[in-house]
Amino acid sequence: TRLISGILAAQDFETTLTGDASIQKRPMRRIMEPLSMMGADITSVKGNDCAPLHIKGAPLHGIHYHSKVASAQVKSAILLAGLYADGETRVTEPTISRNHSEIMLRYFGADIHTEDKTAIIQPNPLLHGQKITVPGDISSAAYFIAAGLLVPGSEILIKNVGINPTRDGILKVALSMGGNITLLNENYDGEPTADLLVKSSELHGITIEGNIIPTLIDELPIINIMAAAAKGTTVIKDAAELKVKESNRIDVMVENLTAMGADITGTDDGMIIEGGKPLHGAFIKTYMDHRIAMSFTVASLLADGETTLEDKELANISFPTFYHDLEMLQK
């Protein structure tokens, strides 16, 4: 929704973008503001800065936008709009967010480059089709990385996983916690990829903060599970963005991990987890969040007794074969 808004803002027709209940709760002011600065006519139909969005195409001009958050979706919306602008467009972030759009646009022939924390694009809507090999999503692989580390006696080989340095925070955290992960068949042609060999490990708590947070923001729920099973204290800071995901993931993780017997305290921008407490089965409220459903499925592998997930089929949003793949590993 955010990315395509940047393209639609420049077209000579009107569009209304909407989505399910989860999408309609996501904040859209963060793209509406910069696109409006470029000349876009974009409004929230309900007046709440969320979808549905009504977009009336208009001529756009280039801007230099200083984003308040490190968000690849905000950056990408502006850069895609910049293809149609009347001059150069720049986006500067507080820390570098994932750069898949920049890599893809460059591959398709766009005039785009980066200078430190700033992405810069020249107007050029004429791009050229290319053959794309899509690597495995590290956000989806994260659940199997965690399961492989946490379930005793495990060894999993996950092939062709994207290890883009703007996305590999889960690997850095797992290794820092003592995880046994080996990268095999590394390939740095375009989007970097590798096969991940994961073996069960004794994990220990660490502090996760600062510039690494944007590289693992979607993986923090499963990192919470890893931290609950680890020895010692894990502190997560600078992650207030968790509050505006499909659910308020700080509150949801605290509620559900507490229900399973973990010692976790929420803070304004993260959480503190005293690891090593035995987990037990519980009823898990997923709050319509696919990452919560998958994270607590992994937690259930470590818990005594039965765990019941509300709306477990939410995993289909991003990983339709998740439960099948997990069952195959347990045979």
Strand 64-66, strand 89-92: pairing: parallel
Sequence-distant (≥ 6) Cβ neighbours of residue 213 within 8 angstroms: 70, 95, 169, 237, 238, 239, 241
SS3 content of the chain, % helix, strand, coil (to 5): 35, 25, 40
Q: Is 159 helix (H, G, I), strand (E, B) or coil?
A: strand
Token duo for residue 158:
């996950």
CA-angle at 88, arms to 84 and 92, nearest 5°: 110
218 noted as active-site residue: yes
Q: Which of 195, 218, 263, 311 is catalytic?
A: 218
Residue 167 in contact with residue 135, Cβ under 8 Å? no
Cα-Cα-Cα-Cα torsion 169, 172, 176, 181, nearest 10 degrees, comes to: 130
How many Å apart are CA 190 and CA 193, to the nearest integer?
9
Q: Which residues are catalytic?
A: 218
